[in-house]
Amino acid sequence: MRVILLGAARLPDVVREAERLRPLIERHADIALADFTGEADLSTVEADAAIVLGGDGSILRAAHQMGDRQLPVIAVNLGRLGFLADLSPNELIEVLESHTLEDLQVVEHLMFDCRVTRDAELLGAAIGLNEVAVQSGPPFAMMDVDLYVDSELVTTYSCDGLIVSTPVGSTAHSLSAGGPILRKDLQAFVISPISPHTLSNRPVVDSADRVYEMVVADARAETPVVLDGRVLCAVAPGDRIRVRRADVRFQLVSAPGHSYYQTLREKLGWGGRLRKDRNV
């Protein structure tokens, strides 16, 4: 197996763990490239998979770095929650010792294409994995956001912002805004308003085959469009933020011995117990 080794150099634990793991990885795989800056061009690197060290932020960065050429990702959790990164460093070595890439289950996840336009001018474009959010900028007053689905006006949200999220992103910003958790392999988007003024404005889940557009009628010069935690551009009144299914898929190697609900129980601290006798 030829692999790319990725991580964030700004995190000292990642660099130290990469130095420790590298000779162990090289016993079972050829490292075609190691990059901890996030700046290397991966488009011409011949590799079978990417090993990403860190947390979900490192995985997001790796997905952006791979762009239109998404490799299967073996995610190693060195962060805190790590909804995407399930493997521990020791489990990584066990997986490499006992499996080939063909043995492992690779699950494809929805990515999105976001384009921001002003009339016929393209202001910004990128693909992403988690979410697109338009958020209130200074002076941080409530704003009105029109939501269109397949060019049909759905409603106008009076809120601090609006999030369009993938299932992978449903446990990120959208969850903090009160959105639902979507199973990661669903083909759907969830629209979650941030602090809506009207309590009847609840999160909405709809098909990934539709096109979603947001327009901020009263946008200010500082109103940002944030894509996977990074500012894509600022919008003015009438600018359109269009989100649709991307042509590429994020490919995540399913960690042996881990399951979806097990991850939710462990990461979200879900408690409770099953009672054999419901009458007790």
> Tokens in use for 215?
């327009």
> How far are the Cα atoms of 142, 145, 154, 228 from residue 218, in angstroms, in the given order?
10, 8, 18, 24
Q: In whole angstroms, what is the distance from residue 146 CA to residue 154 CA?
A: 8
- 56 flagged as catalytic: yes
φ and ψ at residue 176, rounded to 5 degrees: -65, -30
Helix pair 12-25, 89-98: axis angle to 10 deg: 20
Residues facing residue 173 across a β-bridge: none
Distance of CA 19 to the CA centre of its chain: 27
Of 16, 12, 247, 18, nearest to 4 by C-alpha is 18
**Catalytic residue (choose from 56, 86, 160, 228):** 56
In Å, the largest CA–CA distance within the chain is 67
> Tokens in use for 266?
């462990």
Asked whether the beta carbons of 164 and 151 are under 8 A apart, the reply is no
> Tokens in use for 16?
């130290």
- Residues with Cβ within 8 Å of 136's Cβ and at least 6 positions away in sequence, in order, are 142, 143, 160, 161, 223
Q: In whole angstroms, what is the distance from residue 236 CA to residue 239 CA?
A: 6
Which are the catalytic amino acids? Answer: 56
